[in-house]
A and B are shown apart, each in its own frame.
Chain A
Amino acid sequence: MIRPRYAITLARTKLRSKRGMLWASIVVSSLLFATLVAAVCVFQGAQKTAVRFVEAANNGQYLVMTMPTIPGYVNNFYSNGMVFSAEQIKQFRADEKTYYNTERARYKAAGVPYDESSEIPLLKPSILVDPSIPEDRRFMIDWSSPVADYLMAQRFDEYAKTATNKFSDLKKLATQYGATDFYTQRSSGLDILPAQRLIRDGKENFTDEFSHEAMLQTADTQAIHNGSYSFVDDELLVRALNTTPTSPLKGIPVVPSAQEVVKLFGDQLGVSKEPAAGQTRAQWLAQVQQKANGFTYQTCYRNTAEQQLLQKIQIDYTSMKDHENDKDYVKPSLLYNLPKEACGDITIASDTRTAAEKDADATMESYQKKLGDYEAPAHRLLTFQIVGLAYAEPYGSAPKTVNEYVKSLLIGSPDDLRGSTAPIPSRLYETLPKSLKFDDLTASAAGRRAIQNHEEFSPRIVAFKTVDEARRFIATGCPRFASDCNKPFQTGTYGSNYLLLDDMAAQFGAVLTVMFPVVLALALVIIWFTISRIMADNRKETAVYRAMGAKRGDISAIYLTYVGLVTLRIVVLSVIVGIAAAFALDYFYSPIIENLATSSYGTITGAPQVRLFDVSSPLLFVVVAAVVVACFLASIQPLIRNVMRPPVEDMRSE
């Protein structure tokens, strides 16, 4: 057999023949393989980045939001095309009767007279119902009726008796799929505006109760203004909490949105408005976080009784103003003053009530006390302290750009860091001294939210260690907010759309599964064509070598060496071009994606670096091996054809 050094010497001469075609073939094949190399590098980088973000966003856990599926009949009164049947109306009247009887018994037990005509009936006439329907069926539910609440609570209690989607059921089910933790999200129990008013510049604004400023605002980033708070497990807030903890706490810990903090306290903090986009947004977020860390603000919480007093003040003074010139107008006998200072007392301005009026008021108060419904007017100054910041993603705005679309895909499902509610880290809250807590204010309010806050049926966040476990568990439920769900729970990703990331990874695998053979086949054809042509052009030379005594094995060795040299060039070129392309992509796009991902995940503190470049994937070796295999596969057929050809056939033309 020919020595390797001579095989290389003779093979190298072939690299110099048909140079143009050979290099064109090498370049095209290399570019094809380079796409694979680049794809592998980019994917590996993106995958590692995604894992880093999931780590940062969900504390390394794959979280599943679960809500029990409550059948429609439990919390709604269905009508057929907005028209109740005669039987339904009959049933409603009977339910109403039951409620009145229950109330009558309660009042009687308390020694308080009961007048059922003072109650708001369950049904009220509806103008929306077709006039052709008999009048005694043209009704709709009046949701302000206490009967509605009574019936709903009753139905829910009835349902709860046999329900199979309680927390205990969830625990049992999720544990089978590998659940490691269960987190609860619940309302803070604090009533929102107007029960709670933000104190700004040392003032509590109720000079104009119905002004835009004072009204409940529906925009997403108005949690502080509206006084909307919820308890969220600290574990779920890891990405938003400050890395430097505020200690000791000077108020109720809270994680509001950066946008609202800047809107309300930007001047105090010395922070400008949010920049449009780009790298500056991440810098802005970091700046806000640094300056807002530990910042405190106050709200004044006034209970229902005080709210009623404030409402009375508003009505009385408006009425008095309206009747300024009316000599016959009789001023209200009991007038109150608005508090003179923030979260101050409501004082009596004038009391000209008659003895009878005073008796009536006293009787009413005594009845309320007897029934357990009495609430003395009270208020409390609440101090909040910012312990973290979220980047609020507004709801409902359809993505307009590719970036926004990617961001909406990444976020996937709404969570606690969207700005409509400011989360209070529940474990941190528990460390507060009693004087800073608000538990005493919410005891009665919590009772009014029996259905939403029913401990056994409240939404839960279930933690899993792996994406596969989370995926399998999610498959046991219906998609969240599904209209016709016949499964006990509704499930969805929480915190980030890791399933999407995982699906993208799987998709990449699928794309690669298709792309790989296509590229391989294309390269195979190109290399085959080139090598076939070069071997065909070298037939006479092969015949000359055979005439000189070269065996088929010698010729094969020369050509295989030649293919090896070509392969080496393709491998080197495709790896260099592929890595360079991935590096360029990383260089130009990583900062953009990093900024996008940072705000998508709300990871302000120590946001993980986005890299679209990583050469550690074993797939790279597979690609290189594939190049080698493709080159040698492509040469087999022309090589066999070449060496099996009798030399005399090519010598004959001599």
Chain B
Amino acid sequence: MIVARVTDNDIDEFLAHFDGNPVEAVLAIRDFAKAQAGARTLAHTPAHRTAPQPTGPAVVSLQNISKTYKVGKTKVEALRDVSLTIHKGEIVAITGPSGSGKSTLLQLIGCLDKPTQGTITVDGHDITKLHDAALSDLRRATIGFIFQSFYLQPFLRLHDNVAVPAMFTKQAPREIADSVARLLETVELTDRAAHFPSELSGGQIQRAAIARALVNKPTILLADEPTGNLDSANSDRIMALFRSIRDTLGTTVVIVTHNPDIAKAADRTVELKDGAII
């Protein structure tokens, strides 16, 4: 229950946003109340469409991107003339059938690859003009990756696994340890900090992978099929976590998914087919 003191003017101004339609306004209030509750119990809130289209600054901008691979003697056009802008704080789902170019798009946004044509700007940097070391710096500072298979190091304890991306920064070990502890608390894995990945459940591994992706406080979180191996309850929980991250940290979240529920829970869905946005 949310209690707030409002004036008549406040109510008029609020209703004006909904063209004077009180039903829409009530629904919006209910969503807002639920979102507030979700912020307090992030990990337990089911996935749900939240805010309207964000209008923050663009953190990723793709202009007429094409990407062609050579497989033997054959050229495979993974992406064709793709233009896309992702704003700060936006949760974007990239969907499409297998082979549609979702992962390629994610890798380009993640600065792991360069386009054959077009330009990509990530956090204000044209990645096509950056060399390997600068791309590494950009990835380290800006991007957090959540891989489909998570890739936790099997012989590292959880706290070390989460700390891995920070190991490549200049952060002091104490600072890294504090960040790891906070993140493990956020993803409710504090009691598992000294465990090896083999001792964790699928959901715990997923949350650990998210914590790891966040350890360097990235601007953009890229998730490749993050719920692919999870049941729907766990998937809802992960999506709530993404929303919470976005809401509390302002992180932009880009999710490649096949899951329509996930896509529906995103702020925006970009659908790819045969390497082009439809």
List chain A positions with a Cβ less than 8 A from chain B.
2-3, 5-6, 9-10, 12-13, 16-17, 540-541, 544-552, 554, 646-648, 651-652, 654
Contacts and interface: CB of A to CB of B under 8 A. Distances in A.
A13 B155 CA distance: 5
B66 interface: no
Interface stretch (B17-25, B130-138, B185-193): B130-138
Contacts of A17: 155
A114 to B, nearest CB: 114
For chain B, the bracket of interface size reads 20 to 34
Contact of A549 (B141, B147, B155, B224): B141
A3 B173 CA distance: 9
Given A547-B139, A548-B140, A651 B107 contact: yes
B167 A2 contact: yes
A549 B153 contact: no
Interface string B160-173: 10001101110001
Contacts of A646: 112-113
A12 B77 CA distance: 41
A432 B150 CA distance: 100
A546 B165 CA distance: 9
A541 B155 CA distance: 12
A546 B112 CA distance: 8
- Candidate in B112, B141, B168 with the most chain A CB atoms within 10 angstroms: B168
Nearest to A553: B133
Given A541-B153, A648-B112, A651-B107, A6 B167 contact: yes
Contacts of A554: 168
A542 to B, nearest CB: 11
B168 A2 contact: yes
B168 A548 contact: yes
B83 interface: no
Given A13-B156, A549-B140, 13 more contacts: A9-B167, A10-B153, A12-B155, A540-B151, A544-B151, A547-B139, A548-B216, A549-B168, A549-B169, A550-B140, A552-B133, A648-B112, A654-B103
Contact of B136 (A12, A544, A551): A551
A98 B124 CA distance: 126
B165 A552 contact: no
Nearest to B215: A548
Contacts of A544: 145, 147, 151
B132 A548 contact: no
Contacts of B149: 654
Given A13-B153, A13-B156, A548 B113 contact: no
A552 B132 CA distance: 8
B96 interface: no
Nearest to A644: B132
B148 interface: yes
B89 interface: no
In the complex, the 7 A-B pairs of residues with the closest C-beta atoms, listed nearest first: A549-B140, A6-B167, A548-B165, A13-B155, A648-B113, A551-B136, A648-B112
The interface residues of chain A, by DSSP majority, are classed as: helix
Nearest to B163: A6
A547 B167 contact: no
Contacts of B154: 13
Contacts of B103: 652, 654
Given A544-B147, A651-B107, A10 B164 contact: yes
A550 B136 contact: yes
Nearest to B213: A548
A272 B136 CA distance: 88
B231 to A, nearest CB: 22
B275 interface: no
A407 to B, nearest CB: 59
Contact of A5 (B132, B137, B173): B173
Interface of B: 103, 107, 110, 112-113, 132-133, 136-137, 139-141, 143, 145, 147-149, 151, 153-156, 160, 164-165, 167-169, 173, 216, 224
Contact of A547 (B133, B145, B156, B160): B145
A549 B156 contact: no
A547 B218 CA distance: 13
Contact of A541 (B113, B140, B151, B169): B151
A5 B168 CA distance: 12
Contacts of A654: 103, 147-149, 224
B164 A545 contact: yes
A544 B107 CA distance: 12
A651 B173 CA distance: 29
Contacts of A16: 155
A545 B147 contact: no
A549 B165 contact: yes
Contacts of B140: 548-550
Contacts of B165: 548-549
B113 A549 contact: no
Contacts of B145: 544, 547-548
A651 B216 CA distance: 21
A382 B234 CA distance: 116
Contacts of A548: 139-140, 145, 164-165, 168, 216
A269 to B, nearest CB: 76
Given A9-B156, A545-B164, A651 B112 contact: yes
- Candidate in A546, A646, A654 with the most chain B CB atoms within 10 angstroms: A654
A12 B155 CA distance: 9
A647 B176 CA distance: 25
Given A13-B153, A548-B139, A550-B136, A647 B167 contact: no
A470 to B, nearest CB: 63
Nearest to B153: A13
Contacts of A10: 153, 156, 164, 167
Contacts of B153: 10, 13, 541
B168 A547 contact: no
A651 B109 CA distance: 14
B110 A547 contact: yes
A10 B156 CA distance: 8
B83 to A, nearest CB: 21
Contacts of B156: 9-10, 13
A27 B109 CA distance: 46
29 contacts: A10-B164, A10-B167, A12-B155, A17-B155, A541-B151, A541-B153, A544-B147, A545-B164, A545-B168, A546-B136, A547-B110, A547-B145, A547-B147, A548-B168, A549-B139, A549-B141, A549-B165, A549-B169, A549-B216, A550-B140, A551-B133, A551-B168, A552-B136, A554-B168, A646-B113, A651-B107, A654-B147, A654-B149, A654-B224
- Candidate in B112, B148, B224 with the most chain A CB atoms within 10 angstroms: B112
Nearest to A7: B167
A554 B165 CA distance: 11
Nearest to B149: A654
Contacts of B139: 546-549
B103 to A, nearest CB: 6
A652 B102 CA distance: 11
A170 B213 CA distance: 90
Contacts of A540: 151
A654 B103 CA distance: 8
A550 B169 CA distance: 8
Contacts of B173: 3, 5
A642 B153 CA distance: 18
Contacts of B113: 646, 648
Contacts of B216: 548-549
A652 B224 CA distance: 12
A13 B112 CA distance: 25
A648 B107 contact: yes
Contacts of A13: 153-156
A541 to B, nearest CB: 7
A17 B148 CA distance: 22
Contacts of B169: 549
A549 B137 contact: yes
A547 B222 CA distance: 11
B144 to A, nearest CB: 8
Given A3-B167, A9-B167, A547 B137 contact: no
Contacts of B164: 10, 545, 548
